[in-house]
Copies of this chain bind each other. A is one copy, B any other.
Amino acid sequence: MASEKGKVLLAYSGGLDTSCILAWLIDEGYDVIAFMADVGQEEDFEAARTKALKCGAKDFILSDMKREFVEELIFPAVQANAIYEDVYLLGTSLARPVIARGMIEAAAATGCQYVSHGCTGKGNDQVRFELAFYGLKPDIKVIAPWRNPEFYNRFAGRSALLQYAESKGIAVTQTKAKPWSTDENLFHISYEAGILEDPNTTPPDDMWKLTKSPAAAPDTPEKISIEFQRGIPVKVKVGSTGKEHTDAVDIFLTLNALARANGIGRVDIVENRFIGVKSRGCYESPGATILRAAHIDLEGLTLDREVRRTRDQIITTKFSEFLYYGFFFSPECDFVRGCIPASQKTVNGEVRLSLYKGNVTIEGRVSDEKLYDEKFTSMDDLEGFPAEAATGFIAVQAIRLKQSSRRGAVDRKTVYGL
């Protein structure tokens, strides 16, 4: 018999929080379907299924979203050189739209009127999930227990959750909880909260899960090459194995493995959340760190200067912010994403890199695009360029500066002395 209150699709992680939410939603009179997205995190999905069903879920849905995560989110972010506040490569932000879309589709398929999640009321993820839900299905109803006073007052503190879990027969992992929270997918893992909340605490060595430390990485560099077509990585050649990888997911996972082994991709940042507070996060984004370096390098060779300037100004900044703030399914993000491909027409070629103890070193790049012209650039070659043209160029550029200088020579001195 269907519940009166209706059906909820819950973003289920298998952890204590969402297991308690699952049970609580049932207490509240809802039918609950547990949903889990496989976005490449290391997880025992079968154990999660068993647990969810034991908690009372009517069903458990596991959706493999790795391919669309790579192809529809990660690769456009590579094309756009997306980055947040100069440091963060947006791993969590990129996964949210894929997961939210999977949930909306699963909710439609299973007749759920509600979706629910276990995000806290101070973070970015609640916003990212919910704005994605509303952008995809404006009339969806969202249940956010950690913003519901009934829930958060009842479960203030971990012990209340543990007690409730026990009362519901929910198995609690006996392993001691780490003194931080993590979120993992195939792009990255994030660490925050707990002991990391003091921005002056150095993350302990054993926190880092994905990558070797630079010190523990091999003493021999790994040499690879990455080929891009229209800004999308289409082939990776690995020196040590002699293998070529051409499938999108395979490319990304291969780069991940290489970067993890060579200590690449750790960052530690105090960032600005959308809700206006600062937050300290540590991230490992191994393969993405290589891809970003290679893509930027190839753009140097193949992208027109002013196309790059224009793209940087609008696409890179805006797309990164839209992702971080949760506006992927918005008219403005549709617009900006629609402009990406036109910016990447010439970004074709191959970049050679060396990976060594945390360093990603560009060793060379080639392209059939003809935007770089050795002879033309050569300082030694006087042919092909009228040196006098530069005289005229400078003379014209100087017109405005001379005018301004004549007007206020004194000012210039004063300003300089600042």
Contacts and interface: CB of A to CB of B under 8 A. Distances in A.
A310 B339 CA distance: 11
A400 B276 contact: yes
Contacts of A416: 72, 101, 329
A331 B382 contact: no
A182 interface: no
Contacts of A378: 122, 193, 197
Nearest to A202: B363
Interface in A394-417: 394-409, 411-412, 415-416
Interface string A260-278: 0000001111111101111
Contacts of A310: 314, 318, 332, 335-336
Nearest to A417: B72
Interface stretch (A20-28, A52-60, A367-375): A367-375
A399 B277 contact: yes
A390 B405 CA distance: 21
Contacts of A306: 327, 330-332, 400
What 10 pairs across the A-B complex have the smallest Cβ distances? Answer: A392-B392, A121-B387, A306-B332, A270-B300, A272-B305, A138-B402, A276-B399, A389-B395, A276-B400, A200-B364
A395 B397 contact: no
A137 B410 CA distance: 11
Interface in A324-344: 327, 329-332, 334-339, 341-343
Determine which residue in A278, A411, A412 has the highest number of CB atoms from chain B within 10 A of its CB, and name it: A278
A136 interface: yes
Contacts of A242: none
A415 B73 CA distance: 12
A279 to B, nearest CB: 5
Determine which residue in A181, A297, A338, A388 has the highest number of CB atoms from chain B within 10 A of its CB, and name it: A388
Contacts of A214: 356-357, 359
B300 A85 contact: yes
A376 to B, nearest CB: 6
Interface in A47-70: none
A393 B131 CA distance: 11
A192 B85 CA distance: 31
A171 interface: no
A79 B280 CA distance: 22
Determine which residue in A127, A297, A331, A377 has the highest number of CB atoms from chain B within 10 A of its CB, and name it: A331
Contacts of A101: 416
A394 to B, nearest CB: 5
Nearest to A306: B332
A172 interface: no
Interface stretch (A144-152, A226-234, A244-252): A144-152
A181 B342 contact: no
A115 to B, nearest CB: 13
Determine which residue in A87, A120, A300, A418 has the highest number of CB atoms from chain B within 10 A of its CB, and name it: A300
16 contacts: A130-B398, A131-B397, A131-B401, A138-B402, A144-B391, A200-B365, A201-B364, A266-B361, A269-B297, A278-B305, A307-B332, A327-B401, A339-B339, A339-B342, A370-B406, A376-B403
Contact of A357 (B304, B309, B357, B401): B357
A285 interface: no
A366 to B, nearest CB: 5
Contacts of A309: 332
A183 to B, nearest CB: 12
A387 B136 contact: no
Contacts of A396: 275-276, 389-390, 392-393
Determine which residue in A152, A181, A199, A336 has the highest number of CB atoms from chain B within 10 A of its CB, and name it: A199
B393 A275 contact: yes
A134 B331 contact: no
A366 B382 CA distance: 48
